[in-house]
Amino acid sequence: MKFAPITFAVAAAAMLSAPSLHADDDAGEQASEGEAKLAKMLEGRVAGEPQSCIYMRPGVDLTIIDGTALVYKSGKTLYVNIPRNADDIDDRDTLVTRRSSSRLCRTDIVTTQDSSIGMYTGNIFLGDFVPYRKVKS
């Protein structure tokens, strides 16, 4: 019965890896849904030059797209930020930003909290903000 411990170890390793494979499938599906939602939001718009900061005036709306991007709407312009760790974006979380001015910049610290209990859930590492404006017809 020398093979019993090895067989058990192989079976245990297979069982432990199965949930992570399923989690990867969920992450891929979530990203696909998020990418589709982002594409729909950007229909009829053209990308401008990426910016490292945007002004956070009153009335700036934020849309969190699960596992994909943060979209800030200011007037008629959508600013899309795809963080370096976009897969950590959860639309059930609340974003908490620490800014040193009236602008939000890619170097600002953004943390996330569970919106129901306020517990810290992670950090978001911002990228550039790409402005999208409607195409004039």
Quick one: pLDDT at residue 78? 98
Percent of the chain residues topping a pLDDT of 90? 65
Is the entire prediction scored with pTM above 0.85?
no
Q: Averaged over 72-99, what is the pLDDT?
A: 93
Residue 53 burial by CB count (10 A; 0-12/13-18/19+): exposed, middle or buried? middle
